[in-house]
Amino acid sequence: MTETLDAVILGGGAAGLTLASRLADSPWRGSLLLVDDGAHALADRGWAWWSTGGGPLDAAATTTLAHAYVAVPGWERRLDLAPYAYRAITGEALDSLTGAGLAARGWVRETATARSLTRDDAGVTVALEDGSGAGRVVRARHVFDSVGPGAARSHLVDGPHLDFLGVGVECDADTFDTDAVTFMDLRTDQEDGLAFMYVLPTSARAAVVERVRFVVPGAEVSPVEKEREADESLERPTQPHAHQLTAYLRDVLHVGDHRIVHREHGLIPLLVQPPSHPAGGVVPIGARAGMVKASTGYGIARMERHAVAIAAAMARGADPAHVAPHRRGARALDAALLRVIRDDPRAAAEILAGLLTRHPPARVLAFLDEQASVGDQARIIASLPEFARSRARSWFAPVARW
Ligand SMILES: Cc1cc2nc3c(=O)[nH]c(=O)nc-3n(C[C@H](O)[C@H](O)[C@H](O)COP(=O)(O)OP(=O)(O)OC[C@H]3O[C@@H](n4cnc5c(N)ncnc54)[C@H](O)[C@@H]3O)c2cc1C
């Protein structure tokens, strides 16, 4: 017999776990199933964000840093982020927070792959397949979907994305500032596109150090990069990152004797438009709902706000389909920045440098998190170089397709 539930969450990643937690905390009293295919071990995952605190995700953060380093060539600062803090949560911590909420409600979490969704007037039928290949179907009034069963994924890497190489570094001597993230350090080679360095310390002797570059299809490839591409002895695409990471560890962080204990090459799709919209009981969440900001690659704070709004709608018996944060203006700005990165990466670096050097950190963080007041948005736009301001005239034109 087909099991019928009030809600199913597809995908137990950032969005699925935060939504399950927020529903468990809320007065909503329905039945819920959380389904994940187990393909991404949570022990290997983690998410960072910045916030002024007070939210349930903030309370669960496993790292909270009050300061940030930002640097551009010839300029470097250690900034007090107040009233913000930079936070991170490990996959394990988010998992156990959610597990406690599910257990308290008697809700079930299942390891299975969602194969298809079928909508009808009364709800949604979800076809699931477990690890042994056995199938079953469940029905639900609401399906919160971070997965898109059967959806093509090729567009994710064909479109704009962040390409990064991160290493876990362990040093023999105290090396890292334990109360500061290196949020953005532009002092790295820019020949392979707009790129920056990022450092998240886990102790005075250990940190994750990443080189991140924006990849925007259609960008002009620099002569140096063309030469590198032609050099088949290089292991592309991580090799330019690897050289730059080694140089940064040596010349900027001055790490002495150390070990690389972990290495991760990853991609974060930067979608200006959400790939999926609510329809007939299926509500996209997470990256599918466009919650990952196309100009930064951060998304979990927006997913958390979306989860809070969904839980509130469910608790009052309202339709949770249209409570996602309103992002049209922010998307237009992101699309404009991606266009600058594509057409003129050096100019994009200038824009970021201007943002970091001319404004108080709280204003920049609010702007990047789409929480800045209209006045602060105007101040930031007014401070941009003339070429960028002239582009701003097209910022509120229809959002570009990539
Ligand atoms: C490497 C990387 C690092 C990132 N770091 C940050 C960060 O620090 N801060 C930040 O704000 N954002 C970060 N992002 C961006 C974004 O927030 C994350 O990608 C986030 O995990 C997206 O959340 P999601 O729930 O949409 O997808 P996911 O977290 O990927 O969750 C989807 C889940 O669904 C499962 N699944 C997939 N298909 C099926 C199926 N058919 N059936 C059942 N389950 C399925 C997957 O295994 C996965 O567990 C990062 C992105 C990447 C790629």
Question: Which pLDDT tens digit goes with each residue over 346-396?
Answer: 889 988 998 999 999 999 999 999 999 999 988 998 888 776 666 655 554
Would you state the structure tokens that stand for residue 308, as one six-digit string? 């809070």
How sure is the predictor about 401, in pLDDT bands with cuts at 50, 70 and 90?
A: very low
Query: Quick check: CB of 147 below 6 Å from ligand 1?
Result: yes
Query: Quick check: CB of 48 below 6 Å from ligand 1?
Result: yes
Which value, in Å, is the radius of gyration of the alpha carbons in the chain?
22
Q: Ligand 1, residues 42, 211, 298, 303: which to mutate, most atoms within 8 A of Cβ?
A: 298
Q: Ligand 1, residues 47, 117, 200: which to mutate, most atoms within 8 A of Cβ?
A: 47
Residue 391 has a pLDDT of 63
Residue 272 three-state SS: coil
Q: Ligand 1, residues 300, 303, 305: which to mutate, most atoms within 8 A of Cβ?
A: 300
Mean pLDDT calculated for residue range 334-349: 89
Q: What's at 395, amino acid-wise? A: W
Residues 363-385 as b or e (16 or more Cβ within 10 Å = b): bbbbbbbbbbeeebbeebeeebe
DSSP label of 32: E
Please tell me the distance between residue 26's alpha carbon and the centre of ligand 1 in angstroms: 24
Cα 106 from Cα 23, distance rounded (Å)? 13
Query: Quick check: CB of 208 below 6 Å from ligand 1?
Result: no
Please tell me the distance between residue 172's alpha carbon and the centre of ligand 1 in angstroms: 33
Q: What integer best gives the mean pLDDT of the chain? A: 90
| Residue whose C-alpha is closest to residue 81's, from 1, 2, 179 | 179
Phi then psi for residue 155, to 5 deg, are -65, -20
Cα 23 from Cα 21, distance rounded (Å)? 5
DSSP-assigned beta bridge partners for residue 116: 127
Atom of ligand 1 nearest to the CA of 35: 43
Which listed CATH number (3.30.1330.10, 2.40.10.10, 3.40.50.12780, 3.50.50.60) goes with 3-64+87-151+271-322?
3.50.50.60
Q: What percent of the chain has pLDDT over 90?
A: 74
Residue 238 has a pLDDT of 64
pTM score: 0.93
Residue 299 three-state SS: coil
Q: Is the pLDDT of residue 232 over 90?
A: no
Residue 60 has a pLDDT of 95
Atom of ligand 1 nearest to the CA of 48: 8
Q: What's at 161, amino acid-wise? A: H
Cα 255 from Cα 258, distance rounded (Å)? 7
In which order are the strands placed within the sheet that holds 85-90? 46-51, 85-90, 63-65
How sure is the predictor about 240, in pLDDT bands with cuts at 50, 70 and 90?
A: confident
Query: Quick check: CB of 292 below 6 Å from ligand 1?
Result: yes
Residue 47 has a pLDDT of 98
Nearest CA to ligand 1 atom 6: 47
| 46-67 pLDDT per residue, tens | 999 999 999 999 999 999 999 9
Residue 234 has a pLDDT of 45
How sure is the predictor about 270, in pLDDT bands with cuts at 50, 70 and 90?
A: very high
Query: Quick check: CB of 13 below 6 Å from ligand 1?
Result: yes
How sure is the predictor about 402, in pLDDT bands with cuts at 50, 70 and 90?
A: very low
Cα 282 from Cα 118, distance rounded (Å)? 9
Query: Quick check: CB of 57 below 6 Å from ligand 1?
Result: no
Of residues 220 and 355, more confidence is placed in 355
Of residues 321 and 398, more confidence is placed in 321
Would you state the structure tokens that stand for residue 291, as one six-digit string? 């919650």
Cα 230 from Cα 193, distance rounded (Å)? 17
Residue 330 has a pLDDT of 86
Tell me the residue ranges of DSSP E strands in 229-302: 258-269, 282-284
Chain-centroid distance of CA 215 in Å reads 16
Would you state the structure tokens that stand for residue 345, as one six-digit string? 């990466």
Q: Ligand 1, residues 37, 291, 304: which to mutate, most atoms within 8 A of Cβ?
A: 37
Residue 327 has a pLDDT of 79
Nearest CA to ligand 1 atom 16: 299
Atom of ligand 1 nearest to the CA of 47: 8
| 279-319 pLDDT per residue, tens | 999 999 999 999 999 999 999 999 999 999 999 999 999 99
Residue 158 has a pLDDT of 81
Nearest CA to ligand 1 atom 51: 268
Query: Quick check: CB of 280 below 6 Å from ligand 1?
Result: no
Query: Quick check: CB of 266 below 6 Å from ligand 1?
Result: yes
Residues 6+ positions from 41 with CB-CB distance below 8 Å:
91
Atom of ligand 1 nearest to the CA of 128: 42
Mean pLDDT calculated for residue range 84-94: 98
Please tell me the distance between residue 292's alpha carbon and the centre of ligand 1 in angstroms: 10
Residues 6+ positions from 211 with CB-CB distance below 8 Å:
164, 165, 188, 195, 196, 197, 198, 241, 244, 245, 248
Would you state the structure tokens that stand for residue 185, as one six-digit string? 């350090």
Residue 328 has a pLDDT of 81
Q: Name the residue ranges covered by the structural domains of the chain.
A: 3-64+87-151+271-322, 161-269, 328-396
Identify the weakest region by mean pLDDT among 101-110, 179-188, 345-354: 345-354
Residue 191 has a pLDDT of 87
Q: Is the pLDDT of residue 185 over 80?
A: yes
Q: Is the pLDDT of residue 169 over 90?
A: yes
Atom of ligand 1 nearest to the CA of 289: 26
Helices (H) and strands (E) in the chain, counts: 12, 17
Q: Is the pLDDT of residue 274 over 60?
A: yes
Cα 52 from Cα 377, distance rounded (Å)? 18
Atom of ligand 1 nearest to the CA of 16: 25
Residues 6+ positions from 305 with CB-CB distance below 8 Å:
325
Please tell me the distance between residue 394's alpha carbon and the centre of ligand 1 in angstroms: 32
Q: Ligand 1, residues 36, 45, 184: which to mutate, most atoms within 8 A of Cβ?
A: 36
